[in-house]
Amino acid sequence: MTAVDSVAFFDRLADWMNQHPERFAPLGEAEMVVVVVMERDDAGAFRVRLVFDGLSCTGVAETDEAGAAAADFRLEGPLEAWQQMFADIGSHGHAIGELTINSLALVGDRIACRGDDPMGLDKFSRFNQTLQEFFDGSAALAVTTG
């Protein structure tokens, strides 16, 4: 079992994406740098930088505040919100209802999409189905969500 606030978890998500081109090829190539920020009460924020290039996730690395600021956009929220999202994906095989990444980021009270450049922010919309499919990949992994 892997905790979601770990590089190991996102490494596994990246591996899953890279091993399943049949899920991503129909969506087409994507180019974006995303930073996921999970705010934790006791251990400070966990920030992971994800690089999407073509049909692959080619980079997973923990990053700091400056690294997060350089991404196209950041997805920021408390760890509990992320755990809830991944638990929902695990339960249904994919995100549903108000727990899709677009819905969460649009309402913005649990997970927000932030960035300094509207052109970077708009990549969240331009590649949204790819990003959702990437997160939905966690349904195939053994994950600790709380």
Partner 1 sequence: MVSATLGSQTPGKVYPDLPDQSPLGAPLDWAWLRGTRSEWGIHPKPSARGLTMMDIAVGSYAEVPEHPPHRSMAPRGADVDDSTADMGYILNWKTDMWSANVTELYEEAVARQWSATRDIPWGELHELPSDVEHAMCQLCTLLTEVEMIAADLPAKWMWRMNHDFIEAKMFLCTQIMDEARHAEVFRKRALANGGGLLLSRSGPTSLLRTIIEAKTYTQASALMHLLGEGFVLDIFRMGELIAPTDVEKRIFRMCMQDEARHVAYGTMHLRYAVDHDPDVAEEIHAALDHGEQVLIDFGTAPDVSTALALLLAGGADQVEEKGFPLATELTKKQLTSYLARCERAGVGRLERTTIPLDTLGIDVEQIRAAGGGQVAAR
Residue 18 binding partner 1, by CB under 8 A: no
| Binding segment toward partner 1, per CB under 8 A, in 5-13, 21-29, 39-47, 78-86 | 21-29
Query: Contacts with partner 1 in 22-81 (CB under 8 A)?
Result: 26-29, 31, 54
Sign, CA dihedral 126-108-81-63, equals positive
Which amino acid, one-letter code, is at 145? T
> Binding partner 1 by CB under 8 A: which of 18, 19, 91, 125?
125
| Least distance in angstroms from the C-beta of 9 to partner 1 | 24
| Least distance in angstroms from the C-beta of 18 to partner 1 | 13
> Binding partner 1 by CB under 8 A: which of 51, 129, 139, 141?
129
**Neighbour-count burial of 144, counting CB atoms closer than 10 A to its CB (0-12 exposed, 13-18 middle, 19+ buried):** middle
CB 31 within 8 A of CB 53: yes
| Binding segment toward partner 1, per CB under 8 A, in 6-14, 42-50, 78-86, 118-126 | 118-126
Residue 93 binding partner 1, by CB under 8 A: no
How far is residue 17's CA from residue 55's CA, in Å, rounded to a whole number? 8
The contact set with partner 1 (CB under 8 A) reads 26-29, 31, 54, 94, 96, 98, 100, 102-103, 106-108, 116-123, 125-129, 132
